[in-house]
Amino acid sequence: MGKEESPQAARRTTRASCAAASNGEVGRSTITPLHNPTVSDLAFGGEPLSSEDLRSSFPARRPQILELVHLLGPHSSPMLPLFVYGGASTGKTTVILQVFRHLNRPFVYASCRTCYSPRILFESILNQLLLHRKNEANGYSSAKRCEKPSDFVNFLREDVGKVVDSLKDHSGKRKSNKSRRWPKGDILYLIIDNLELVREWDKSSSLLPFLFNLYDILKLPNFALIFVSSSSPDTYYSSMGYIEPIPVFFPEYTEEDLRQLLIRNQANQKLYSCFLDIVLRPFSRVTRRLDELSTVFSSLFQKYCEPLSDTSLFPNDEMKRRLFSHFRPYISPALNEIFWGPSQCLSGIESGKVTRQRGSIRKHEDNEDFTEIGFHMSTAAKYLLISAFLASRNPATLDASLFDSTGGSDNRKRKRKASEKSMEQKETVEQESLMKGPGTFPLERLLAIFQCITSVIDVSIDEEEHGDGFSTDGGNSSWLMSNVLSQLSSLCDANFIAKGGSCPLEGSTRYRCTISEDFALKVARSIKFALPNYLCRR
Ligand X SMILES: Nc1ncnc2c1ncn2[C@@H]1O[C@H](COP(=O)(O)OP(=O)(O)OP(=O)(O)O)[C@@H](O)[C@H]1O
Question: Residue 15 or 61: which CB sits closer to ligand X?
Answer: 61
Piece of 88-96, 204-212, 300-308, 375-383 that binds ligand X (CB under 6 A): 88-96
Over the window 347 to 386, marking each residue x when it contacts ligand X by CB under 6 A and - when it does not, the resulting string is ----------------------------------------
**Which of 99, 73, 101, 68 minimizes the C-alpha distance to 85?**
68
> SS3 for 77?
coil
Among 93, 104, 392, 401, which residue sits at the site for ligand X (rule: CB under 6 A)? Answer: 93
Query: 22 Cβ partners below 8 Å, 6+ apart?
Result: 57, 58, 94, 98
Q: 107 pairs with which residues across the strands? A: 189
194 binds ligand X (CB under 6 A): yes
> SS3 for 493?
helix
Cα(287)–Cα(378) distance, integer angstroms: 9
Residue spans of alpha helices (H) in 264-316: 269-286, 290-305
Q: How far is the CB of 365 from ligand X (least distance, A)?
A: 21
Q: How far is the CB of 374 from ligand X (least distance, A)?
A: 13
Over the window 243 to 282, marking each residue x when it contacts ligand X by CB under 6 A and - when it does not, the resulting string is ------------------x---------------------
H or E element in which residue 71 lies:
helix 62-72
Question: 440 — phi, psi (to 5°)?
Answer: -95, 160
Question: Residue 58 or 249: which CB sits closer to ligand X?
Answer: 58
The CB density around residue 504, as the number of other CB atoms within 10 Å, is 6
Q: How far is the CB of 90 from ligand X (least distance, A)?
A: 4
The CB density around residue 148, as the number of other CB atoms within 10 Å, is 11
Cα(233)–Cα(361) distance, integer angstroms: 10
Cα(440)–Cα(461) distance, integer angstroms: 37
Piece of 47-55, 57-65, 74-82, 118-126 that binds ligand X (CB under 6 A): 57-65
> SS3 for 335?
helix
Q: How far is CA 209 from the centre of its chain?
A: 22
Question: Residue 195 or 398: which CB sits closer to ligand X?
Answer: 195
26 binds ligand X (CB under 6 A): no
CB of 36 within 8 A of CB of 155? no
60 binds ligand X (CB under 6 A): yes
Among 6, 94, 127, 284, which residue sits at the site for ligand X (rule: CB under 6 A)? Answer: 94
Among 91, 251, 348, 439, which residue sits at the site for ligand X (rule: CB under 6 A)? Answer: 91
Q: How far is CA 393 from the centre of its chain?
A: 29
Ranges within 288-307 binding ligand X (CB under 6 A):
290-291
Question: Residue 88 or 164: which CB sits closer to ligand X?
Answer: 88
Piece of 24-32, 81-89, 493-501, 515-523 that binds ligand X (CB under 6 A): 81-89
What secondary structure letter does DSSP report for 350?
P
Piece of 59-67, 163-171, 202-210, 515-523 that binds ligand X (CB under 6 A): 59-67
Burial (CB count <10 Å: 0-12, 13-18, 19+), residue 391: buried
Piece of 83-91, 298-306, 428-436, 463-471 that binds ligand X (CB under 6 A): 83-91
Q: How far is the CB of 376 from ligand X (least distance, A)?
A: 9
The footprint of ligand X (CB under 6 A) covers 21-22, 58-61, 86, 88-94, 194, 230, 261, 290-291, 345
